[in-house]
Structures are given as structure tokens and as C-alpha cells.
A and B are shown apart, each in its own frame.
Chain A
Amino acid sequence: MTEARRTVDILVVGAGPAGMAAAVRARESGRGVLVLDDNPAPGGQIWRGGQEHSPSARASSWFAKMAASGAQVIAGARIVDGDAKRQCLTVEMPDSAFEVSYDKLILATGARELFLPFPGWTIPGVMGVGGLQALVKSGLPVTGKRIVVAGSGPLLLAAAAYFRAHGAIVPIVAEQAPVSRLAPFASRLAKHPGKLFQAAALRLALHRSRYRSSCWAIRASETERLESVQLQQHNRVWLEPCEYLAVAYGFISNVELAVLMQCQTGAAGVRVNDLQETSQNQIYCAGECTGIGGVDLSIIEGEIAGYAASGRDDLAGNLFKKRDKARQFAAALESAFALRDELRSLADAGTIICRCEDVTRERLEPMRSWRSAKLQTRCGMGPCQGRICGPILEFLLGLHPESVRPPVFPARVETLLRQEEETRPT
């Protein structure tokens, strides 16, 4: 059992590229650093599975820097609550819980995939694009399996290549964006070598029949086990047999913990200044939780936050130009893969929107606010706490999620009790 209370100079939440970069830079200035992550190993989404599974030279180099830095990492640690005034977080481990007080907090909680419902999206075998990729990285063999990849964004191509490299058959990659937006983006990419995916790969893909633009999944069947998916491109609709459908429409920033800590957010994610400082004193934010920008931007933001949190604003400042360039790329990415209106009508009246509570679209349609949706249908009240259905409701019906209430993740009763005991005045 871990001790009930810890104190640290700089606490980093999230051991993805942004959190690792932040920890390494903060340690360079000699401060004590603790990194917490819910995943069983550091690496975040892109470098999932830790050092042994890290695919690139850059990943290996950050894992090495991290190991050499002396920053302490606790994996399998989920933050369930926090208090900005008392400068502490409540952490739940598989069989224990503790509180950490910090001098500075760096939030690097990353992003999750955006799912848009269509009839059949709840059938086992329909997964996220990064979701299925994560399972393959976690030991799921896909040799000889037929995987249809659909949705939007550069991850589609990267994941399709990954599945093929692991022996899967990927008959088609269905990208909702039109070629009129993708082609200019592809030529622009040539100026940014080593980005999310290679420029050449995208251009090649655009010329290959297996990569279809203006194409999306409209229905999946059967009910207990996926057998096929119906795809649409322009006026053509056809059935594509498959064992897995990997489908997602880009990413949503994980802002819940930042919101709980009373940091301001904007349309893209957590609001930060040049030094990656949030609106809350002592709290910094870096990586995809400040807006979707890819791994390069996440690393740069992490480095800036790490330097700034340890008082090295001068070193942070040296990275501003590099960050500007990465942000321009992120903006181009966003406009190339902007979501089309047709996707709002994929879900029919009977399609489930909230998967935790099985709430259908027709029950949500009359709702005028998140609050009434919650109270009248239980939408967003299940264990995912609106993480999956919240962004969907925003996209389909324009309902904005309300403030976050603790715990940010379902927590065990003992964790909450312990916390109550510790906040009680003595």
C-alpha cells in the first residue's frame, strides 16, 4: 500500500510525449518531479506500451532522457479529484489511494477520439481507430483479419499502415473530407517532413483506390458480432465485409481535470499563455489538452511548460518560434479535415447516443440543455461521465457540457472517504 500523502515540487499528470518532455525539462533545473499516469506504462497514446514498443528513434530518445532524468513515474495512477486552492490531487491506484500536494502542477492529459454515432456503432467489433490500434499494441493479433478504417484525419492512414504491417487486410480507408481540401494539404505537408504521417504517403494514398475521400460509414451489422459495414461515397452505397471497423472523427482534448481545477478553457482546449500557464496560479498545461496539434507540438509545449514551471522562462522562450510553426501546421490540419454537415444526420431516431445509459437520439432531440438531458434521460450520467456522448451532443444538437463535478473518474468509495477525512479541519 502506498503512503497516504506525498509532497512534490512539480507534479505532472500524463506520461505521454507532452508530460515526458515537461518532466525531463523540469528535472534539468533540479526540481523534484513526480509523473502520474492512468495507463499501465508511460508513453501516452502514440508511444503506448512503453519503451519496448516504442516505434521511432524519437520515442526511444525521450524514453532514455526520461529514465536518465531521475523523475519519478507512477503508472496505473488515476487522478480522480483535486483542489486548486489546497494545491493537491487525489490519486487512485488499483488497490490503494493517496493525496499529492504540489508546488507546481503540469497537466498533460492528452486527447481522446471523437466518435459520431450511426446505426450499428455499438456492435462489438466497431472501435475507435486509435482504439483498435491500442488493442493491437496491447497484444491483439490481427493477422488475416479484415479491418475497414473510416472517419477522418491523418491517424486513419497511420493506423491502416500499422494494421497492414501486422498482417491485417485493410480493404478500404474511408475519409469523410473531400479531395478538394485534402490535395492542397498534401502539397503543404511536403514542407513539414516527419509529421504525423509522411507527405508522400498521403499523396500516394490519394491516388490509390483504397483511400476514398468524401466517403463514410453509414451502418454496421449484425447485432452481436460485426459482419459488415455499409459505406457511402457520393451517390453510391455498398457493403464491405469486415471483422473490425475502426472509425473515429479526429480528437477531443481531455480538459476535465483542468476544468475541475478551475482552469479556463476555450473552443479548442485549456487556455494557456506563452509559457503554457493556465488561468490558475501554479497550473500549467501542455500537449493535446490545450488543443489538437499532433505529437510535435505536444513535445514542444511540454518542454516549455517544464522549463517555465521550474523558473527557466529564458529557456522556454527559445522554443516559442518552433511552437508557432507547429501550431500553423495544426491549423492547416484542422481545416483540411473539417467535419461535414452530413455526418450530423448519420444517427437515426433509434440510434443510441449515450452508450452507458442507452439513450437514443429521439429522446435527446427535444432537450435544450445538457442539464435537462442529464436529468430527464440520464445521458452522460454513466461511468464515462459524458466523455463519449458529451462531444457527440455538442456536434449533433449544439448542447454544451456543463461544469465538471468530482470525481472526474468513477472512484472507489474508500478513496472518496479518505479524501473527506483529509479535508476535514483538525
Chain B
Amino acid sequence: MAEMISLSINGVSIRVPAGTMVAAAVLIAGETMFRRSVSGEARGPLCGMGVCFECRVTIDEAPHCRSCQIICRDGMKVRTG
């Protein structure tokens, strides 16, 4: 069994296996809307490889992080929207 780590997604704490990407953790937490587009549409990951920037979230207060390229760390605080 992989080691489990905890992080919070929009204030809700979840546990995921170590090595999980932040984008996967956000979807595991049941959130589908990662960001709002300039005209207010809900958006989520598209390319899964770091080029489209649709999966951007705020991680530990740093805005515009590409969640498909960042691995979850224990205690991380992720915000969508």
C-alpha cells in the first residue's frame, strides 16, 4: 500500500496516496470546477500535461499553479475557483 498523505481542498481535508497529482486530488475531492474563465465559465483540466493552463488553482496562497504538474504534499492547502 502506498503511503497516504493529507491535504485540504477548499477547506475540506482529504487523504490521497503519496505521489498523487494535485489535479487528481481535486477531482477525488469531488470538485470539477478548477477555475472560472474570463467570462465566468467553469473550467477544468484539458491537456493533463502542463500546456493549456485550464487546471490552474491556488496552492498555499500561490495563485495560478498548474495542478496537473504539481504533486501533492502533506499539509498542502488547495483552493479552486
Binding site for A on B (CB under 8 A): 16-17, 19-21, 23-25, 27-28, 32-34, 37-39, 41-54, 56, 64, 68-71
CA distance A115 to B47 in the complex (A): 9
- Pair A139/B51 contact, Cβ less than 8 Å: no
Within 8 Å by CB of B32, from A49, A122, A225, A355, lies A225
- Pair B27/A140 contact, Cβ less than 8 Å: yes
Nearest-Cβ distance from residue B77 to partner chain A, whole angstroms: 16
CA distance A38 to B69 in the complex (A): 8
- Pair B52/A135 contact, Cβ less than 8 Å: no
Binding site for B on A (CB under 8 A): 38-40, 45, 49, 76, 94, 112-113, 115, 122-128, 130-135, 138-141, 223-226, 352, 355-358, 382-384, 387-388, 410
- Pair B37/A122 contact, Cβ less than 8 Å: yes
A-B contact pairs, 17 of them (CB 8 A): A38-B50, A49-B19, A124-B34, A124-B43, A125-B44, A127-B48, A130-B49, A131-B45, A132-B48, A133-B48, A135-B23, A138-B21, A138-B24, A223-B41, A223-B42, A387-B52, A388-B52
The CB with the most chain A CB atoms within 10 A, among B25, B27, B32, B49, is that of B49
Q: Which residues of B contact A94 (CB under 8 A)?
A: 70
- Pair A40/B49 contact, Cβ less than 8 Å: no
Nearest-Cβ distance from residue B23 to partner chain A, whole angstroms: 6
Within 8 Å by CB of B71, from A40, A124, A356, A382, lies A40
The CB with the most chain A CB atoms within 10 A, among B16, B19, B47, B54, is that of B47
Q: Which residues of B contact A127 (CB under 8 A)?
A: 44-48
- Pair A139/B16 contact, Cβ less than 8 Å: yes
Q: Which residues of A contact B46 (CB under 8 A)?
A: 115, 126-128, 131, 355, 388
CA distance A133 to B27 in the complex (A): 14
Q: Which residues of B contact A140 (CB under 8 A)?
A: 21, 23-24, 27-28
- Pair A388/B21 contact, Cβ less than 8 Å: no
Main DSSP-derived SS at the A contact region: loop
Within 8 Å by CB of A358, from B24, B25, B37, B71, lies B37
Question: What would 7 more interface pairs be, CB under 8 Å, given A40-B69, A358-B39?
Answer: A115-B46, A122-B43, A125-B32, A140-B21, A224-B42, A355-B37, A355-B46
CA distance A384 to B71 in the complex (A): 21
CA distance A193 to B25 in the complex (A): 37
Contacts known (A130-B48, A139-B17, A387-B52); A355 close to B25, Cβ less than 8 A? no
Nearest-Cβ distance from residue A416 to partner chain B, whole angstroms: 16
Nearest-Cβ distance from residue B37 to partner chain A, whole angstroms: 5
Nearest-Cβ distance from residue B28 to partner chain A, whole angstroms: 7
- Pair A122/B41 contact, Cβ less than 8 Å: yes
- Pair B24/A113 contact, Cβ less than 8 Å: no
CA distance A383 to B64 in the complex (A): 10
CA distance A113 to B27 in the complex (A): 22
- Pair A128/B32 contact, Cβ less than 8 Å: no
- Pair B48/A39 contact, Cβ less than 8 Å: no
Q: Which residues of B contact A40 (CB under 8 A)?
A: 21, 69-71
Q: Which residues of B contact A388 (CB under 8 A)?
A: 46-47, 51-52
CA distance A40 to B68 in the complex (A): 10
